[in-house]
Structure 1
Amino acid sequence: MNQLVLSDEILQGISDLANQLNLSIDSLLEQIVKGNLAVVNAEELEDLLDVRDAMIAEAAPENQERVSWETVKNDPKLSSV
């Protein structure tokens, strides 16, 4: 088994995360190793959720009508945006 040295700051972060999930540090790390939990960058997750939301909106029946740029440009309600 390899030994891993962690700074106090990193260990505190892991401990805080384990507490938030109501797990021990050992259980938290075990769940990550088993693939039951994943560590994800929050900004990347937000970007993926934005893409998902855009795809859902694009697929919605009420969003299937295409509007020309000329229509948008000439509509005062839309062109002021």
Structure 2
Amino acid sequence: MSPLSISQDILAGLETLAQHFNLSMEEFLSGISQGKLAIIDADELEDLLDVRDAVLAESDPENQERVSWEQVKQELNL
């Protein structure tokens, strides 16, 4: 195996992330390498959360009443 070298800034960032999850550096890196921890783009995560919220809203029994587009426009004074 070849040695790995990283800058002090990167190491500090990794240590901060590990501490955020209350993990040692070894546990943190092991979790990533084993697929137990995932790295996801913040914009992609936001999109996934929006989809989840929409699905939850549509499945809520209180949201089953349909409203026409014309009624929405009227309520918004459009």
Q: Give the structure-1-normalised TM-score.
A: 0.76
Gaps of 5+ in 1: none
- Deviation of 1:54 after TM superposition, in Å, equals 0.9
Gaps of 5+ in 2: none
State the SS of the aligned residue for 2:37.
coil
The number of aligned residues is 78
Counterpart in the other structure of 1:30: 30
State the SS of the aligned residue for 2:2.
coil
- Deviation of 1:80 after TM superposition, in Å, equals 4.3
- Deviation of 1:14 after TM superposition, in Å, equals 0.3
Counterpart-to-counterpart distance in 1, 2:46 and 2:34 = 24
State the SS of the aligned residue for 2:29.
helix
Counterpart-to-counterpart distance in 2, 1:73 and 1:43 = 30
Letter in 1 for 2:76: S
Moved >6 Å (runs of 4+)? none
Counterpart in the other structure of 1:10: 10
Q: Give the structure-2-normalised TM-score.
A: 0.78
State the SS of the aligned residue for 2:4.
coil
Counterpart-to-counterpart distance in 1, 2:20 and 2:28 = 10
Counterpart-to-counterpart distance in 2, 1:73 and 1:42 = 33
Q: Could you tell me the percent identity over the aligned residues?
A: 54
